[in-house]
A = this chain, B = another copy of it.
């Protein structure tokens, strides 16, 4: 006689228990749960009753193994604490909370190699979809994404050559718009201050440079950057460096809002008038930008919406109707405020 295995801890009910109780075959229970329309009204009710009574919950691991596909979205972002990505992730979570899909979140720490490593960890799980930040994957990562056999959405940026789908906006255009705004406002010695300088920051810088060159105002000494991770305190330091380098500086376009806030605080501390003596423009438009005194002009980006849209596109692709528009540009919005109103 074979004694029942009791390896499993709490002895949770299995699909066989439900089938027995409902007086049907196990496969019918499986179908009733996944494709209810293929099971008769009556059996469906019986099965549901058995499920409720036993408190049956399908084992996602067994499901994944048998169907060679896990109900998991793999999500890769460069940072968990950067508010920008936190918002994207929040959008993804909110969009997926009512679905059967779980989320596997990975933190690449802005490293292409780490991204590769994580992709190698994610792939064996056969995720239902992959969402990755940025468009600058290493060749290896790109190959992993192409061979993942599931919908892939690159988020935060748009570009010419999607692995599969894209949702984002043009950082170059954003940087250009911010700079043009400062030029129009009458500033001339406009600096660029940037920390971290990941690919997106690089493109904002390129937008800045393009605008400055068109206006005949570009001067390499106006650019102050560092690979060090961004923070408010770093913004303050970089601004002091920039000012020491170019005392005639009359405005700064900052890489992001943290840097901009650091600049603002340093101006307060040094009694520099904003926007008269120094104009400030940030990037991303965090909530605090409109509250700051003076309020800070910033390029509003639609992070939460990017997350939601990415999920919507992936879900559509999973359901078989791939969106006709594979690259979605959600744009940005320049919020003009006191800090750049000369």
On A, residues with C-beta under 8 Å from B are: 7-10, 12, 57-62, 64-65, 68, 70, 80-81, 83, 86-87, 89-90, 93-94, 97, 102-105, 107, 120-121, 123-126, 147, 149, 231-233, 235-236, 258, 261-262, 265-266, 268-269, 287-288, 290-293
- Is A233 a contact partner of B287 (Cβ separation < 8 A)? yes
- Is B93 a contact partner of A87 (Cβ separation < 8 A)? no
- Is A124 a contact partner of B81 (Cβ separation < 8 A)? no
5 more contacts with CB within 8 A, not counting A7-B68, A261-B291, A268-B268, are A12-B124, A57-B123, A80-B86, A80-B90, A231-B288
Q: Which residues of B contact A258 (CB under 8 A)?
A: 288
A282 CB to nearest chain B CB (Å): 13
- Is B293 a contact partner of A269 (Cβ separation < 8 A)? yes
- For the complex, give the distance between the alpha carbons of A116 and B232 in Å: 37
- For the complex, give the distance between the alpha carbons of A292 and B258 in Å: 12
Which residue of chain B lies nearest to A262 when distances are taken between CB atoms in the complex? Answer: B291
- For the complex, give the distance between the alpha carbons of A93 and B149 in Å: 27
- For the complex, give the distance between the alpha carbons of A221 and B8 in Å: 57
**What are 29 sample pairs from A and B whose C-beta atoms fall under 8 A apart?**
A8-B68, A9-B126, A9-B149, A10-B147, A57-B124, A59-B65, A59-B124, A60-B124, A61-B65, A61-B126, A80-B93, A81-B90, A90-B107, A94-B107, A102-B121, A103-B104, A232-B288, A233-B287, A233-B291, A236-B291, A258-B288, A261-B288, A261-B291, A262-B288, A265-B292, A265-B293, A266-B291, A266-B293, A268-B268
Q: Which residues of B contact A233 (CB under 8 A)?
A: 287-288, 290-291
